[in-house]
Structures are given as C-alpha cells and as structure tokens.
C-alpha cells in the first residue's frame, strides 16, 4: 500500500469526523433550543406567571467555548497587551487564587463565596507584582475590557428562548437573576450587545449582593426587593442549573422551569 495515499485517507477521515462532530453538536443544540422554548411556553401558558425570573448563561446565551477557556483567552490577551514576562498559566493561577481569596473574604464577612471581577483584578495586580508595569486602576480597566470582549466573542444568543421570554415580558415583569462577577455597567453592556437591554424590569447580579442563587440567598434579596406581598407560586424561575435555578428557587416556594443544556465538566464555580 502506498503510505502517502494511506496518510491522505487518514486525514480525509479525520476531517470528515471533525465536520460530523460539529454538525451533530449544532443539531443537538437546535434540538435542545426548540425543547427549551416549548417547555417555557407550556409552563407560562399553564401558570400565567405574575413575575418571571430568568437566568443568563446557558439560558438566554450559550458559550461557544468552556468558561475556563474564556478566562484563558483573556489572560493570553492581557499578557500580550502588557508584554508581561509572566506566563499565561501564571496569570490564570493568580486569577484562581484571587477569586478564592475574595470568595473566602466575603464568606468570612457573612456573605456567600461570591466575588467581584474588579476586586479580583485589583488583587491580581498586587500578586503579579505589576506595580512598576502599570497602575492598578489602568490594569483593572484593561482586564475588564479584555474579559468583556472575550465574553462577547464567545457568547451566542438562544433566539428561541429569548423570543419566548420577550413575549412573556409583554404581560408581566421579567427580572434577570445571574450568578456572575461583572459589575452592573459591564453586565448591561453584554445585554446591549445582544439587544436584550429592553426586556428586563430589573437586573440582579450575585457580585453586587455577595449572595448567590447557588445558596438560595440571592432569591431572598430578589424577593425582599419586590413591592408588596406576592403569591410565590406565581413567580416562575427559568434556568439550566438543577441546584441554583431549580432546587434553590423551589426552596423559596417559587415555580421553576429547568432547561436541559449540554453538561460541562464540574468546577468550583460551575454555575456561572
């Protein structure tokens, strides 16, 4: 057998398998999106909710890469733009350490293990010994801009789910409730980028409260912020996480819709 023909056939089979894998993933995503829309539409028709709470990641948008790859992309860009002597791996280690330290600090103060990106970035500036390279405020601003652009480059809208939520928003208030670490102005920029900014009557982010959906305490903050007494069974939470979006919402007597999304490997802050 001609070894050149053999290796060319192997390459062709490899390319075909890669193409087939991407087509299968796309078809599965479309299938899950249609199911999610049906699920939401049916729950809203059955319940006629008086208030809708909706998750962001893997509900309204999905990422084309894993969350940890977004962090790696932004770390690489940060190292490149600042011409850091530090490796990308070391930037990522510093970030994990800063996130852990900020989470621990907030937990010790009686909150959940939540953290704010601005505080994490400021802590990284010290840990990476960048005092002589760039001012802390400039570093934090640059890192946030890079992280936002990496998020926007990898987020994709689930248009069917968005359309369903948008339709519900014509008859009741919709509050976005997300366990995430971007400050509010940056989170709003993400929503604007996707054309989602007009849907929500309110936006509640875990880092603003140092409380999370994962523990359920962010729901208490949402409920405390509502006007007057509400029939909690008429408040519907839509999301993809069985703990944060379903069990914890149900523990506060809210109604829930759990969307089936692709499973990602567990990590410490897997709910994001």
Supply 254's token pair: 């809210």
How many other β-carbons are positioned within 10 Å of the β-carbon of residue 210? 22
Stretch that binds Mg ion, among 36-44, 101-109, 235-243, 247-255 (CB under 5 A): 235-243
Phi/psi at 189 (5° precision): -65, -40
- Nearest approach in angstroms of CB 251 to Mg ion is 17
Choosing from 58, 116, 151, 158, the residue that interacts with Mg ion (CB under 5 A) is 58
Choosing from 240, 249, 254, 256, the residue that interacts with Mg ion (CB under 5 A) is 240
Give dist(CA 49, CA 234) in Å, integer: 5
- Nearest approach in angstroms of CB 226 to Mg ion is 22
Stretch that binds Mg ion, among 4-12, 80-88, 164-172, 236-244 (CB under 5 A): 236-244
3-state secondary structure 183-212: CHHHHHHHHHHCCCCCCCCEEEEHHHHCCC
Q: Are strands 155-157 and 61-63 parallel, antiparallel or unpaired?
A: antiparallel
Rounded to a whole number of angstroms, the CA Rg of the chain reads 21
Nearer to Mg ion, 82 or 214 (CB): 214
Count of residues of this chain found to bind Mg ion when the rule CB under 5 A is applied: 4
- Nearest approach in angstroms of CB 79 to Mg ion is 29
Choosing from 32, 49, 53, 55, the residue that interacts with Mg ion (CB under 5 A) is 55
Nearer to Mg ion, 40 or 128 (CB): 40
Q: Are strands 173-178 and 202-205 parallel, antiparallel or unpaired?
A: parallel
Nearer to Mg ion, 56 or 115 (CB): 56
| Subset of residues 66 to 95 that bind Mg ion, contact rule: CB under 5 A | none
57 touches Mg ion (CB under 5 A): yes
Beta carbons within 8 Å of 251's beta carbon, 6+ residues apart:
216
- Nearest approach in angstroms of CB 203 to Mg ion is 15
Burial bucket for residue 207 (CB in 10 Å: 0-12, 13-18, 19+): buried
Stretch that binds Mg ion, among 11-19, 51-59, 128-136, 148-156 (CB under 5 A): 51-59
Instruction: List residues binding Mg ion (CB under 5 A).
Output: 55, 57-58, 240
């Amino acid at each position: 057998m001609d070894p050149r023909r053999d290796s060319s056939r192997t390459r062709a089979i490899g390319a075909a398998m890669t193409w087939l894998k991407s087509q299968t993933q796309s078809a599965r995503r479309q299938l899950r999106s249609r199911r999610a829309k049906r699920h939401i539409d049916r729950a809203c028709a059955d319940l006629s909710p008086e208030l809708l709470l909706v998750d962001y990641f893997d509900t309204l948008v999905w990422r084309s890469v894993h969350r940890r790859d977004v962090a790696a992309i932004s770390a690489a860009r940060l190292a490149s733009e600042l011409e850091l002597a530090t490796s990308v791996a070391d930037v990522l280690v510093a970030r994990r350490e800063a996130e852990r330290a900020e989470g621990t600090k907030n937990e010790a103060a009686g909150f959940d293990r939540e953290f704010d990106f601005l505080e994490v970035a400021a802590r990284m500036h010290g840990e990476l010994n960048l005092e002589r390279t760039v001012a802390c405020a400039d570093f934090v601003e640059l890192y946030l801009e890079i992280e936002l652009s990496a998020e926007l480059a990898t987020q994709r809208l689930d248009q069917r789910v968005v359309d369903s939520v948008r339709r519900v928003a014509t008859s009741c208030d919709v509050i976005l409730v997300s366990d995430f670490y971007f400050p509010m102005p940056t989170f709003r920029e993400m929503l604007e980028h996707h054309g989602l900014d007009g849907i929500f009557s309110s936006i509640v982010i875990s880092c603003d409260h140092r409380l999370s959906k994962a523990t359920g305490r962010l729901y208490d903050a949402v409920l405390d912020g509502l006007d007057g007494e509400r029939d909690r069974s008429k408040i519907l939470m839509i999301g993809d996480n069985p703990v944060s979006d379903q069990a914890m919402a149900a523990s506060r007597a809210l109604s829930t819709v759990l969307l089936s999304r692709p499973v990602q490997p567990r990590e410490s802050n897997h709910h994001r």
